[in-house]
Amino acid sequence: MPMRRSIEELANELKSLGIRPSHQRVKVLEYLDCNRCHPTVDMIYGSLIRQIPTLSKTTVYNTLNQFADAGMVRALTIDGNEARYDITVEDHGHFRCERCGDVFDFKIDVDSMAAEDLSGFQITDKSVYFKGLCPGCGSKQINIPK
Amino acid sequence: MPMRRSIEELANELKSLGIRPSHQRVKVLEYLDCNRCHPTVDMIYGSLIRQIPTLSKTTVYNTLNQFADAGMVRALTIDGNEARYDITVEDHGHFRCERCGDVFDFKIDVDSMAAEDLSGFQITDKSVYFKGLCPGCGSKQINIPK
DNA sequence: GTTCCTGCAAAAGCTTTGCAGAAGA
DNA sequence: TCTTCTGCAAAGCTTTTGCAGGAAC
């Protein structure tokens, strides 16, 4: 599942989308390719700063916004305070644990959902978010802190 | 559909959940009951300040968080910058127009979705978000501004 | 009288913007 | 050389927190 791609492949993917493959951009993309855990900007920045000591958070923001505009990544706003980023892949939903905050993928066929009343709407994106307790937290039988 | 409830009914609903029915709280709940358009905090505050000149945005935030904790309303984070609030009703999805920003409800049977890999997860909430162009904006045939 | 509630002000946190210097074509 | 990119600093926004006065019970 973590189908790591080489630096060259990642750079070519950027070029094919008209994005110049700067060192920072390739590294951000590589991080997203290797860490499919819906990282926050802080997580990406915190990891890459060790490889690129001059990196700024602004660049991470700029890069992610550019990737999102190009359709390469999807920004998740499953909880309001912080965005998470996700390499665009086939249809899947996101489960967010309300205790530990982790986000899990699960396969789901969004087109199988029985939806109505949407004639006339042009749909460009479908997102499915579930919340609750993940297996690890649920088995601990503790109340969710507010 | 806009099944307005009386002040007494709203106050009783609050009492039944252990929330003291202060004037501000009842008014916020009445607004949500009458305006099922997924309002932002600003929209709620901007409307109620005309009836309650001393109202503060802090109180609106406090009240909405309390309602959300009690399960009376759901906070939507369909776009990252601003939360929207929604009286809890039966299963439905949310469509957000990327041009005009409006949010539309549509009926959807989330349990009909073919989901896998979730054994061991305790699911407490299911959300479905679609994005695209609403009929009004889509018919105008203009490119979406970035 | 004690507890809860309100609302002002300030703080906190995430994200964007302005801009100057650096890097790349 | 000219365009694009990076990153620091500052600003912008939404939301939360601290706290004092007031209301409710």
DSSP track, chain A: ------HHHHHHHHHHTT----HHHHHHHHHHHH--S--BHHHHHHHHTTT-TT--HHHHHHHHHHHHHTTSEEEE-SSTT--EEEE--SSEEEEEETTT--EEEEEEEGGGSEE-S-TT-EEEEEEEEEEEE-HHHHTT--PPP-
* Contacts for A76 with CB less than 8 Å, ≥ 6 apart: A38, A83, A84, A85, A86, A94, A103, A127
**Residue A145, pLDDT score:** 40
**Residue B3, pLDDT score:** 56
Testing the interface with A: which of B77, B140, B141 to mutate, by most A Cβ within 10 A? B77
pTM listed for this prediction = 0.79
Q: What is the distance between the terminal CA atoms of chain A, rounded to a whole angstrom? A: 35
Structure-token pair, residue A7: 């630096």
By DSSP bridging, strand A103-109 and strand B122-133 are: unpaired
More confident residue, A51 or B118: A51
Contacts of B123 in chain A (CB under 8 A): 95, 130-132
**Residue A99, pLDDT score:** 83
Q: Using CA atoms, how far apart are residues B35 and B90, in angstroms rounded to an integer?
A: 17
Average pLDDT of the residues in A71-88: 89
Is residue B47 a contact partner of residue B70, using CB atoms and an 8 Å limit? no
Testing the interface with B: which of A41, A62, A67, A77 to mutate, by most B Cβ within 10 A? A77
CB within 8 Å: B113 and A117: no
Q: Which of residues 116-145 of B touch A (CB under 8 A)?
A: 116-118, 120-135, 138
C-alpha dist (Å) from residue B37 to A9, A33, A108, B96: 45, 38, 28, 11
Q: Using CA atoms, how far apart are residues B65 and A146, in angstroms rounded to an integer?
A: 11
Q: Where are the beta strands (DSSP E) in chain B?
A: 73-76, 84-87, 92-97, 103-109, 114-115, 122-133
With a cut of 50, which residues of chain B have pLDDT below it?
1-2, 142-146
More confident residue, B102 or A143: B102
Average pLDDT of the residues in A14-43: 96
- What is the pLDDT confidence band of residue A112, given thresholds at 50, 70 and 90? confident
Q: Tell me the average pLDDT of chain A.
A: 87
Q: Which of residues 22-81 of B touch A (CB under 8 A)?
A: 69, 75, 77-80
Burial (Cβ within 10 Å: 0-12, 13-18, ≥19) of residue A117: middle
Residue A67 pLDDT more than 70?
yes
**Residue A80, pLDDT score:** 77
Fill in the amino acid letter for B29. L
**Residue B42, pLDDT score:** 97
Residue A23 pLDDT more than 80?
yes
**Residue B65, pLDDT score:** 97
Q: Using CA atoms, how far apart are residues B38 and A139, in angstroms rounded to an integer?
A: 35
**Residue A125, pLDDT score:** 82
Q: Using CA atoms, how far apart are residues A128 and A110, in angstroms rounded to an integer?
A: 8
Q: Which of residues 82-111 of B touch A (CB under 8 A)?
A: 83, 93, 95, 98, 104, 106-110
- Quick one: which of A96, A97, A79 has its CA closest to A138? A97
Residue A39 pLDDT more than 50?
yes
**Residue B93, pLDDT score:** 87
**Residue A14, pLDDT score:** 96
Q: Is B1 on the interface with A (CB under 8 A)?
A: no
Q: Using CA atoms, how far apart are residues B133 and B57, in angstroms rounded to an integer?
A: 31
Select from B112, B121, B128 the Cβ nearest to the Cβ of A128: B128
